[in-house]
Structure 1
Amino acid sequence: MLDERVSAVTGSTRRGLSKVAVVYEELRNAIVQLELAPGARIDKPALCARLGVSRQPLAEAVARLADERLVKIEPQKGTFVTRIRMGDVAEANFVRRSLETATVEAIAPEADADLVQQLKRIVDRQEAALTADDIDEFYRLDLRFHRALQDALAMPRVAETIETARAQLERVRRLLLPYARRATDTVAEHQTIIAALAVHDPEAAKAAMAAHLDTGIAELRDFASRRPELFEA
C-alpha cells in the first residue's frame, strides 16, 4: 500500500533517483495495481506526508500521469484516477500487440536454450502461485515473462514504448486475473509461446502472442459490461 512505500522512496532517492521519478513510479504502480481504484480522488497532502516529499515532486509526477491518461486534473475539484476508457485500452492494445508479436517473431529464430528455460521457470512459478491463490505473485511473474522477451530482443526503446502502452492495459489485467479462467488461460498461452520459441518458429510465436493478447481484450469487454462503474466510453 502507499503508506508502506515511504522507505522505498527514501532508499531510492539515496541511490540517486530523483524524487519526481520515484513518486511517479510509486503512484503509477498504485494505479496500475488498483491500490488506487478507477474514479478515486488523489489526496495530495496525505500523499506528501506518507511519501515524505513536498508538493512540487508530487505535482510533476501527477502531470506525467495525466499525460498517460491515468489521472485527470479537474480545476477546483481535485485530481482523480481516471476510469478505464475502452478507446484508450484499444489503442494501447494495438501498440502492445504490434510490438510484442514483432518481438517474439524477431527472437524466435535464435531463441537459445537459456531463454526457453528461463521462460519455463517463470511459468512453473506462475502455476505454483495459481495453486497457492497468490494473484499478486502471479501478476509479478506475468510481468517478468514479458520483460524476459523484451530483454532478449535488446531494444530498449521498444521496451519503453511497450511499458508506456502497458499502463492502460495492466489495470484491466489486474481486474481480470482474480478470475480463475483468465489466470489458467494465461499459463496455457505462455506455454504455447514458449513451445514456438523452442522450435524457432517465428510465425507460430507471433500467432501465439497475438492470441494471448487478443483473448484478454475479448474478456475485458465482457467484464466491462458487468462492471460499468469502472469504465467510461
Structure 2
Amino acid sequence: MNNHTSSYAFLSRPSALTRGNVTAEVTQALRSAIVTLAMPPGSSIDKSLVCAELGVSRFPVSEALARLQTEGLVDIAPQRGSTVSLVRLSDVREYMLIRKGLESEALRVLIGSHDAGLLDELRENLAAQQATADRDDAETFHQIDIEFHDIIYRSMRFTRIKTIIDSARANLDRARRLIITPRRLVLTIAEHQAIFNGIVHADAVQASRAMRAHIDAVMIELFAFAREHPDLFADGQTLGADSDSFPFG
C-alpha cells in the first residue's frame, strides 16, 4: 500500500452543504475513505487537496481531522501534519474479544425466543452473501456481513449490546477489510451458515460455538496478515509467532 495519496477523487463530495453541518459531512467523507481503505493506514493527508475535492475551507477539514483523531483513525503531529493512523492490533484484539463474549452469549438468549421472521431474514441474508461472493464484490459483502449480525441483535432488541459493538466498528472494519479475499468470503459464508444452523435447530450450544469459531477464524487470519505486513499496524512489530495472541476456543 502506498504511503502517499496524490488524489482524493474517491472522496464522496456532499451534494448539499448547509451551515452547521459542513464539519459533520467532511468528517463522514473522510471516515468512510479511511474505513474502506481508500486512504490506507500510514498515508499522509493533504488538507489542501481535501479542501479542493470537497469544495470546503480548511476550517471544517481541520475540525473533521480532530474528530477522527479522537476515534483513533487519524494521527496529528505538530509540524508534520496529519496521517491515517495505523491499525492497532491490541485494540482489535480487545474489541473482538468483547464481541466474542457478547455475541456468543446473546445467541443463548435468542434460541427459542426469536421472532417468527428471523429465520427468513437470515436466509435472505445468506443468499445475498453468496450472490456477492460469486461476483467477488467484497465491499457489498462486507455490508451484508455486518447486516447478518445486526439482524440477530434487532431480533433480540439488545440495543445496548449493539451500541457497544458499533462503537468499535470503525477500526474493526478497517482490520477486517485488510483480510477480505475470495477465500475469506467463502469461509465467512460457511461460518455464518453454521451459526444459522444452530438457530434453526434451537441448539444454543451449537450456535454459540459457531459464533466463537467464526470470530476466532477472523482473528487467526488477521494475525497471519499482520505478521506479513507489520508496517500497516502500530504494534505489528510486537506480534510474535505464538498461537495464544487471542483467547481462542
TM range (shorter): 0.7 to 0.9
- 1:27-176 matches, cutoff 5 A: 27-176=30-179
How much does 1:167 deviate?
1.9
Aligned to 1:10: 15
162 and 46 in structure 1: CA distance in 2 versus 1, 3 angstrom threshold: same
Q: Structure 1: which 5+ residue stretches go unaligned?
A: none
Contact 1:113–1:198 (Cα < 8 Å) also in 2: no
TM-score normalised to the size of structure 1? 0.87
- Could you tell me how far apart the structure 1 residues matched to 2:24 and 2:111 are? 34
Deviation, structure 1 residue 162: 0.8
Q: Which has the larger radius of gyration?
A: 2
Structure 2 spans left out of the alignment, 5+ residues: 1-7, 236-249
Query: C-alpha distance in 2, partners of 1:158/1:17?
Result: 31
Q: Distance in 2 between matches of 1:171 and 1:134?
A: 17
Given the two structures, how large is their TM-score scaled by the length of structure 2? 0.82
Root-mean-square deviation (Å): 2.2
Is 1:228 the counterpart of 2:233 in the alignment?
Answer: no
Deviation (angstroms), 1:73? 0.8
Counterpart mapping for 1:168-187 below 5 A: 168-178=171-181, 180-187=182-189
User: C-alpha displacement at 1:143, in angstroms?
Assistant: 1.7
CA-to-aligned-CA distance 1:56-110 (integer Å, 9 cap, x gap): 3333332232122111111110111111221121122122223322332332231
The percentage of counterpart residues that share the same residue type is 37
Residues 45 and 232 of structure 1: CA distance in aligned 2, closer, same or farther (over 3 Å): same
> Is the 1:2–1:30 Cα contact (8 Å) retained in structure 2?
no
Change (3 A) 1:181 1:2: same
Change over 3 Å in CA distance of 1:198–1:28 after alignment to 2: same
What SS does the aligned partner of 2:31 have? helix
Larger RCO, structure (CA 8 Å, separation 6 or more) = 1
Q: Which amino acid aligns with 1:203?
A: V
Which residue, 193, 196, 199 being the options, matches 2:201?
199
Q: For 2:52 and 2:106, how far apart are their aligned partners in 1?
A: 42
